[in-house]
Structure 1
Amino acid sequence: MASLSPASKKALANLRAFRPPPTNYYKCPLARRAAVLILLFADRRGDLRVVLTIRSTGLRNYSGQAALPGGKADSLQETPFYTARREAFEEIGLAMSDHKLPIGYEVEHLAELPTNLAMTELGVRPCVAFLKTPPPSPRNQNPDAARDLLPKLDAKEVAAVFTAPFSNFLRERDLDEEARKTVPGEWYKGSWHSWHETAWRMHQFFVPVNPSSVFLADHKPRQPRVAEEQLSETTGAEMLPPKPQSKSPASKSAQSSLQPPLPRSFYKNADDPLQQPRYRVFGMTARILVDCARVAYGEEPEFEHNSHFGDEDMIERLISIGRLSSIRKEGEILTRDVMVQAGRAKM
């Protein structure tokens, strides 16, 4: 297995030891269950990187946006991790079993994070896994996942597979000094926005890419699956904003002024996303990565953020008032009135 840095070893140990609180995921009907895969691997320096995708430009919703591999559950018997692995296989060709991976590679299920709630009322369970690289051998003296595996992934529903430095999702600027000097743009932008009178932190990360970290699909996009299209509404920025982080009145968060809700144009890519020196990661995907990094590295980010993990409490409250039913009604969204009603529900 590739040599891991001390920080990476500790991060993996923290994820293995993480025990999420009781989840309301299994209280959701099948139509409301989805999962995403946070796939980590070690680079040549032993630091952890995470695998992401750029959604195909041929998709009807959120085309060209960065997302974690994921999708909706196919049956009530599926675990979130099985759903995430199956969707990763269907989207980027990551084999479902280790013996179908390149020789010596293995996927270890590390942890699951608290369930997130999408604005379309889907419960999205983040599942964390580690892609183990094999020890050096005569056949492969210098195993490298980015070289040996990722370029071979058959991207069926995405335009590109790319990787990002995992610990950087706790930082305000690029950890890679070379990227700071040579890649135009900055790593992080964030702002507080109002969402039905709730403070919500919008994270935007701009991941520098190069030929060793991005792998383009070599085919034309196909017609998207129904399940994939439904999950697409959860992987972008339209998610249920969590409660604001509790800080003292003198903190930066308390001094931040709320901006209006983001316009629809914010979620669209005006330019070809694959031709940019940095790929934008934002919304639910960014929030999930920040929370996962918080667990892994045992520290809080340098930037302001919402403090709690996931939306388990709100999911339970919505269920108690009859939302998250098995029948999805056209145009059903989380309005301010619904949120107020759920907030008043007795638990």
Structure 2
Amino acid sequence: MRASDELTALRRALAAETPASSDYDLNPEVELPDNRLLRPAGVLVPVIEAGGRLQVILTKRSSRLKHHPGQIAFPGGKVDAGDADAEAAALREAHEEIGLPSESVDILGALPPHETVTGFTMQPFVGLVTAPFTPRAEPGEVAEIFAVPLCHVADPARFSVQYRRWRGTRRHYYAVPFGPYYIWGATARVLRGLADRMVSA
């Protein structure tokens, strides 16, 4: 499939309506309080054309970070007071974390919000990178920047359900490994939601 065909399929998938997701989706026994306070965050799912195909840019977080150290993540973060909304936060953080200029991103659409175990409502935005840029990892925040083919993370068959012990209980989660990168948790859950849209749209 050519990049143009992938882009058409991606646009069609983003037009679909699907429910919000959560780190608890595969753990229905967890009871969450209705009055819990969640902090808003925005993340960018940057899509770039390379070699005639579309790829998704991801980051490996620094092992020194408080939240999700060493994990694979989308560029993004919490909504600050100066951000107009979650989309603005996602674009700002992408510029800070990987050196992607906001004016070089065409937002194609949003994926459903995702609740994380760390107390955030994470709003993912899929953006097409429209101009060449030189990736630059933010010191202390990002350990590595890499790209994974869209066809890899858009295929539900690439995903598996795994588990770890967390706070004394077994917690299940999605994983979609790619080469040396173990993509799991919230990032894999958002990508799995996109994959489901891609095959059904």
Same fold (TM over 0.5): yes
Tell me the distance in 2 between the aligned counterparts of 1:168 and 1:109: 21
Per-residue CA deviations over 1:229-286 (Å, capped at 9, x if unaligned) read xxxxxxxxxxxxxxxxxxxxxxxxxxxxxxxxxxxxxxxxxxxxxxxxx110000110
Counterpart of 1:172 (choices 157, 162, 166) is 157
Between the aligned residues of both structures, percent identity stands at 31
Q: 1:52 to 1:111 in 2, by over 3 A?
A: same
Aligned counterparts, 1:141-290, within 5 A: 148-149=132-133, 152-156=134-138, 157-169=141-153, 170-173=155-158, 188-191=159-162, 201-208=172-179, 278-290=180-192
Does structure 1 residue 118 correspond to structure 2 residue 116? yes
Runs of 4+ in 1 over 3 A off after TM superposition: 18-22, 191-195
Please report the TM-score for the alignment, with normalisation by the length of structure 2: 0.75
Aligned to 1:224: none
Question: Radius of gyration: which is bigger?
Answer: 1
Structure 1 position 108, deviation (Å):
1.2
Tell me the distance in 2 between the aligned counterparts of 1:206 and 1:281: 5
Contact 1:35-1:127 at 8 Å conserved across structures: yes
Structure 1 position 44, deviation (Å):
1.3
Tell me the distance in 2 between the aligned counterparts of 1:284 and 1:91: 18
Aligned residues: 182
Which amino acid letter does the alignment assign opposite residue 10 of structure 1?
Answer: T
Which amino acid letter does the alignment assign opposite residue 159 of structure 1?
Answer: A
Which amino acid letter does the alignment assign opposite residue 44 of structure 1?
Answer: G
- Is the partner of 1:97 in helix, strand or coil? helix
Structure 1 position 200, deviation (Å):
6.8
Which of the two has greater strand per residue? Answer: 2
Alignment RMSD (CA, Å): 3.3
Which amino acid letter does the alignment assign opposite residue 129 of structure 2?
Answer: L
Q: 1:283 to 1:51 in 2, by over 3 A?
A: same
Does structure 1 residue 81 correspond to structure 2 residue 87? yes
Per-residue CA deviations over 1:48-97 (Å, capped at 9, x if unaligned) read 21110011133344322111111000128622211111111111111122
- Is the partner of 2:181 in helix, strand or coil? strand
- Is the partner of 2:56 in helix, strand or coil? strand
Per-residue CA deviations over 1:92-146 (Å, capped at 9, x if unaligned) read 1111223xxxxxxxx211111221112232211111111135xxxxxxxxxxxxx
Q: Extract unaligned runs of 5+ from structure 1.
A: 23-27, 99-106, 134-147, 174-187, 209-277, 300-347
